[in-house]
Amino acid sequence: QKEVEQDPGPLSVPEGAIVSLNCTYSNSAFQYFMWYRQYSRKGPELLMYTYSSGNKEDGRFTAQVDKSSKYISLFIRDSQPSDSATYLCAMIPGGYQKVTFGTGTKLQVIP
Amino acid sequence: SAVISQKPSRDICQRGTSLTIQCQVDSQVTMMFWYRQQPGQSLTLIATANQGSEATYESGFVIDKFPISRPNLTFSTLTVSNMSPEDSSIYLCSVVGGQGAYSYEQYFGPGTRLTVT
């Protein structure tokens, strides 16, 4: 079993839709949870991070962590074609630790 | 944030040859990381490079195959040696966000797309 599981997609949605991206994990030591966005032929860029359980909102993006279920989500409201990218979840036990990445979910937002 | 550049952006190499990938950061950073990204797979950490010390390699990666140099706080190189088609991948350089930041603030270069024929 992989430490982090993420549906590879692709996920195709119409413009304006609410998108839900998810990851499950098995290591209960993970404390920091990140979402990276990777456009084609580019390196990943940090989108959001959260510490422990709870929600964090940034504009159209909301990150949610449920440590009891070992489940994290990224919600994108009012999705735009510019959101079309691969989204990778990532997590670490604490600072200066090795990051464990999911395989990424490819999202396509259709105009 | 840190701005990272990599050279070359892509290359096609023959089996048995070596390629050196350069990573340049616009600020001084303590820790630099080298990752491999293969289609359908998660980012895999190859090694951590600290300035002034030997790189630390992850399980499955060895110095003879992936020698790394870290001559100063803004630059590193990764060499892929004696290449085989299985080495075809995207290689990414990464740094943590500043000397005091935790590793959740990672910044990545644009990657080097390597194809071995």
> How do residues B51-74 score in pLDDT, each as one tens digit?
878 899 999 999 999 999 999 999
Contact B103 A101 (CB under 8 A): no
- The pLDDT of residue B31 is 84
> Does B111 contact A at CB distance below 8 Å?
yes
Query: B1-43 pLDDT, tens per residue?
Result: 789 999 999 999 999 999 999 999 998 888 899 999 998 788 9
> Does B73 contact A at CB distance below 8 Å?
no
Residues of chain A with pLDDT under 70: 95-96
Alpha-carbon span B28 to B52, nearest angstrom: 13
- The pLDDT of residue B45 is 94
Q: Which residue has the higher pLDDT, B47 or A97?
A: B47
User: Are A24 and A33 contacting, i.e. CB atoms less than 8 angstroms apart?
Assistant: no
Q: Which of A96, A97, A100 to mutate to test the interface with B (most CBs of B within 10 A)?
A: A96
- The pLDDT of residue B112 is 97
> Does B55 contact A at CB distance below 8 Å?
no
Query: B81-107 pLDDT, tens per residue?
Result: 999 999 999 999 999 865 555 567 788
Phi, psi for B85 (deg, rounded to 5)? -55, -25
- The pLDDT of residue A14 is 97
What's the DSSP call for residue B58? Answer: P
* Backbone region of residue A29 per phi and psi (left: phi > 0; alpha: psi in -120 to 50; beta: other values): alpha
- The pLDDT of residue B103 is 62
Burial label for A69, CB within 10 Å (0-12, 13-18, 19+), is exposed
- The pLDDT of residue A95 is 64
Q: Closest by alpha carbon to A10, among A108, A76, A90? A: A108
Q: Closest by alpha carbon to A72, among A1, A14, A2, A5? A: A5
- The pLDDT of residue A87 is 97
Phi, psi for B39 (deg, rounded to 5)? -55, 130
- The pLDDT of residue A96 is 65
- The pLDDT of residue B106 is 85
